[in-house]
Structure 1
Amino acid sequence: MAIETALDPEELLQCLHSVEQKFSRVRKQRWGTRTLDLDLISLGERVFPDPAIHQHWRDLPLEQQMSQTPEQLILPHPRMQDRAFVLVPMCDICPEWRHPILGKTAAELCAALPKSDLEAVLPL
């Protein structure tokens, strides 16, 4: 989903979490199964909170990604370029969106993913 908002990133994320709560989302396990998951992937061309922190979280090894949680929101989402389940639907609504740090469009990022990852994303 793409929206326009005057909210700052943390306010928007709080709104998303409120929607999840209304649908009885319970946060039990990081990267666990969930009934509803609303993520804030990007906010236009903003890099939040800053490029250095973004770089740190983007470069973390997978093992650390799975066990560590950032203290603040990181935008664009530091793992979005690795996730077909993010990029395939993103290409449906904004294929020309350009990653403000990597400089590639959503379509280019999606095309760089393994074919097996892309084929695993199925429309509902």
Structure 2
Amino acid sequence: MALGANLPRDLGSIRRSPAETLRHALADLAGEGLSLVACSRFYATPCFPAGAGPDYVNAAARFDNPQGLRPDEVLALLHRVEAAHGRARSTRWAGRVLDLDLLAMGQAVLPDRETFEMWRSLPLAQQAQTAPDRLILPHPRLADRAFVLVPLAEIAPDWRHPATGRSVAEMRDALPSADLNAVQALPA
């Protein structure tokens, strides 16, 4: 799972930073029945698309699913946690208090290989205009994003993409060095 936030959360007299929101979200996910196996460090990353808002704090986490939730049930759980933290889904790629993305569940390709490939190959201009109406796994943009792959490589470098066969480390290493260098670990 990928976690991100670039907007503070106002809680009356308390203002929670994006990093604090990520820590609270991790605890909430564990409270919802997922079991945290590993979490990467937190990273400062440029806003995507460039200039659309403040920079992000990103991380990756791996969870066990002891309740055997289906992928759509896990996604619904992620959306509930986002909403509990004040996430509003206004416009595509808008700034957010919390963003939880289900990147993959094992080797599942959902809903099917053809639909996955269609979303994976969608041109950037169309990505900005449209979003899938159902869960696509693995996340169609997984291999393109340093802000996902750098933290993910800390906790699952050997996981292999079920559609491409490439490991997380291989996908990360294939990205432009400028993208990788822009992802900076935050102090613990």
Amino acid at match of 2:87: R
Q: For residue 62 of structure 2, what is the aligned residue in structure 1?
A: 2
Normalising by structure 2, what TM-score?
Answer: 0.65
* Structure 2, gaps ≥5 residues long: 1-60
Q: Which of 1 and 2 has greater Rg?
A: 2
Larger relative CO (CA 8 A, sep 6+): 1 or 2?
2
CA displacement 1:59-92 (0-9 Å, x = unmatched): 1111111101111110000111000011001001
Q: For residue 31 of structure 1, what is the aligned residue in structure 2?
A: 93
SS of the aligned residue for 1:29 comes to coil
SS of the aligned residue for 1:2 comes to strand
Question: How far is the alpha carbon of 1:123 from its aligned partner?
Answer: 2.1
Alignment of 1:8-87 (within 5 A): 8-87=70-149
Q: For residue 19 of structure 2, what is the aligned residue in structure 1?
A: none
* Structure 1, gaps ≥5 residues long: none
Q: For residue 100 of structure 1, what is the aligned residue in structure 2?
A: 162
- Within 1, Cα distance between the matches of 2:183 and 2:97? 17
Question: How far is the alpha carbon of 1:32 from its aligned partner?
Answer: 1.0
Normalising by structure 1, what TM-score?
Answer: 0.97
Q: After TM superposition, what 4+ stretches of structure 1 lie above 6 angstroms from structure 2? A: none
Aligned length: 124
SS of the aligned residue for 1:26 comes to coil
SS of the aligned residue for 1:38 comes to strand
- Within 2, Cα distance between the matches of 1:32 and 1:3? 27
Q: For residue 110 of structure 1, what is the aligned residue in structure 2?
A: 172
Task: Name whichever structure is richer in strand by fraction.
Answer: 2
